[in-house]
């Protein structure tokens, strides 16, 4: 979240704790010929009143990060067409960052709906639900894994690190997957 978005969050009453929410990711900017830029990602953790002291801490952390990493400009990480998690640092989604393995990959920095919603913000509300448990007694095929909470989420039907059309686990079945 860049500074204008931070101001909107402040007005909306979101708490911003810089020590829990400031994430810095070094990303490779392919459009500028391969130069490395630092991206600051702000993630709001909880909803609460933001105090003046909290805002000062938040801004201090942002300027400290810029000073430490020597970036002369503040770049906001924004969704771009054609980019997907393979183009982002692992830490953007996975708590383990570059040390992500099959054993710890499910430990994410936020819910799948929040992570996918960064770019697909209206898709889930307009097309299909996500983040819910199957109906009691309903068996979900093993090809469509539930998350660690036993819920159907984005990755139940989509392989986010896949090159398949729409990243669907079974692209040939498309919309009929839910009617089996």
Q: Domain range for residue 47?
A: 3-76
Question: What's the predicted TM-score (pTM) here?
Answer: 0.48
Q: Is residue 149 part of a domain?
A: no
Report the SS3 class of residue 25: strand
More confident residue, 110 or 59: 110
- Out of 21-25, 36-40, 82-86, 107-111, the most confident range is 107-111
Model confidence pLDDT, tens digit, residues 5-19: 444 444 444 443 333
Q: Is residue 101 part of a domain?
A: no
Residue 109: per-residue pLDDT: 92
> Please, which contacts does 139-145 make with residues 24 or more away whose CB atoms are closer than 8 Å?
141/180, 143/169, 143/170, 144/169, 144/177
What are 7's two structure tokens? Answer: 């101001």
Q: Which residues contact 122 (CB under 8 A, 6 or more apart)?
A: none
Question: How far apart, in whole angstroms, are the C-alpha atoms of residue 110 and residue 123?
Answer: 18
User: Which run of H or of E encompasses 116?
Assistant: helix 112-117
Using pLDDT thresholds of 50, 70 and 90, give the confidence band for residue 42. Answer: very low
Model confidence pLDDT, tens digit, residues 122-154: 766 667 778 889 989 888 888 888 988 899 998
Using pLDDT thresholds of 50, 70 and 90, give the confidence band for residue 76. Answer: very low
Q: Is residue 12 part of a domain?
A: yes
Q: Is residue 9 part of a domain?
A: yes
Q: Is residue 69 part of a domain?
A: yes
Q: Is residue 102 part of a domain?
A: no
Q: What is the mean pLDDT of the chain?
A: 62
When divided into structural domains, the chain yields a total of 1
What are 50's two structure tokens? Answer: 């933001």
């Amino acid at each position: 979240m860049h500074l204008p978005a931070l101001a909107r969050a402040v007005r909306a009453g979101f708490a911003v704790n810089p020590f829990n929410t400031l994430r810095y990711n070094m990303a490779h900017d392919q459009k500028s010929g391969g130069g490395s830029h630092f991206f600051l990602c702000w993630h709001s953790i909880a909803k609460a009143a933001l105090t003046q002291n909290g805002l000062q801490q938040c801004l201090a952390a942002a300027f400290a990060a810029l000073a430490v990493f020597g970036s002369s400009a503040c770049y906001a990480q924004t969704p771009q067409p054609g980019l997907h998690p393979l183009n982002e640092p692992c830490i953007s989604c996975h708590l383990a960052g570059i040390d992500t393995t099959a054993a710890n990959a499910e430990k994410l920095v936020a819910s799948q709906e929040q992570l996918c919603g960064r770019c697909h913000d209206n898709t889930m509300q307009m097309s299909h639900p996500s983040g819910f448990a199957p109906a009691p007694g309903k068996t979900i095929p093993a090809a469509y894994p539930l998350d660690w909470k036993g819920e159907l989420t984005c990755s139940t039907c989509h392989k986010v690190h896949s090159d398949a059309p729409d990243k669907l686990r079974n692209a040939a079945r498309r919309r009929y997957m839910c009617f089996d």
